[in-house]
A = this chain, B = another copy of it.
Amino acid sequence: MKLVECVPNFSEGRRPEVIDEIVGAMTGVGGVTLFDKEMDADHNRAVITITGEPEAVLEGVFRGIATAKDLIDLTTHEGEHPRMGATDVVPFVPVRDMTMDECVDLAKRLGERVGEELGIPVFLYEHAATRPSRQNLAKVRKGQFEGLRDEIGTNPERDPDFGPKKIHPTAGAVAVGAREFLVAYNINLGTSDLSIAKTIAKSIRLSGGGLKYVKAMGFEIKDRGIVQVSINMVNYKGTPLFRVFEMVKSEAERYGVPVIGSEIVGVVPVDALIDCAEFYLRLESFQREQVFENRLAESEAA
């Protein structure tokens, strides 16, 4: 059974009743499951994760966007997190029996409907981007709601992929895309010297000449008196966790600093962990069908 995850971000983090109504609209579609719901008052933003078969998720998230358009007014919205729309960003993530191309297709179909039926301009981003400059979400959202309102329709660079060349007066614009599963992964160092975490973060991330699918920053963990390399693994298949862990360990050794632990924030696909077992146990010709639970699922389906 094909399974897709969709993680719409809504510009509302203070009124739970609004988010409840949006979630209700999405999960009112048969086959859509609520996987996670996070609201942040400072960011004034909610991150909702739904899963299900592609057509159900497509219909569900469309209804969520329509509901958010009615209930959220960007002209009075304030929060720490950058945003350009009532529904700000909508990534599709392949979970099971799905390709990235199929997620790109879902993003385009959703974008077309949102543009035509709701009159909200849509920008395709990441794997769904129609030009390289739009792969990066930060660039698509540059200037936020207020800046985009001025530029859209006058600057051809800001022409949307779907919908009117004019910002929606209250719902703004929305970025719709397709991306890999994100793993938030932190590595803790046995030192209080923040400069070491920052230097290592720089050396392992793509922008610093490091690993392709790694974004990283250095932070202090004051209550523990240690520092942390905080990592976004944007493609755990392309750059596996163990490679990042070993690289941080090796860089830290150069300063005589030990790696004292690591943390996975939120959820991680089981395959990302099995990849680590396979690496460290030096497993020869290991097949994922050898995982008892996978074989069980197969035999139960047979």
Binding site for B on A (CB under 8 A): 3, 33-36, 51, 95, 181, 188, 241-242, 245, 259-264, 266-270, 273-274, 276-286, 290-296, 299-300, 302
User: What 3 A-B pairs are tightest by C-beta distance, nearest first?
Assistant: A276-B277, A273-B277, A280-B280
Question: CB-CB < 8 A to A181: which residues of B?
Answer: 292
Contact A293 B280 (CB under 8 A): no
Q: List 6 A-B contacts (CB under 8 A).
A: A33-B299, A51-B296, A241-B277, A273-B273, A277-B280, A279-B280
**Interface of chain A, main secondary structure:** mixed
Question: CB-CB < 8 A to A293: which residues of B?
Answer: 269-270
Contact A281 B242 (CB under 8 A): yes
CB distance from A92 to the nearest CB of B (A): 16
Question: CB-CB < 8 A to A242: which residues of B?
Answer: 280-281
Partner of A264, one of B270, B286, B300: B286
CB distance from A78 to the nearest CB of B (A): 32
Question: CB-CB < 8 A to A296: which residues of B?
Answer: 3, 35, 51, 95
Partner of A268, one of B270, B273, B290: B290
A145 to B185, CA, bound (A): 58
Contact B34 A299 (CB under 8 A): yes
Question: CB-CB < 8 A to A268: which residues of B?
Answer: 290-292
Question: CB-CB < 8 A to A295: which residues of B?
Answer: 35-36, 267
User: Nearest CB to that of A262 among chain B residues?
Assistant: B281
Question: CB-CB < 8 A to A264: which residues of B?
Answer: 283, 286, 290
- Counting chain B CB atoms within 10 Å of each CB, the highest count among A270, A294, A299 belongs to A270
A284-B263 CB under 8 A given contacts A274-B270, A292-B270, A293-B269: yes
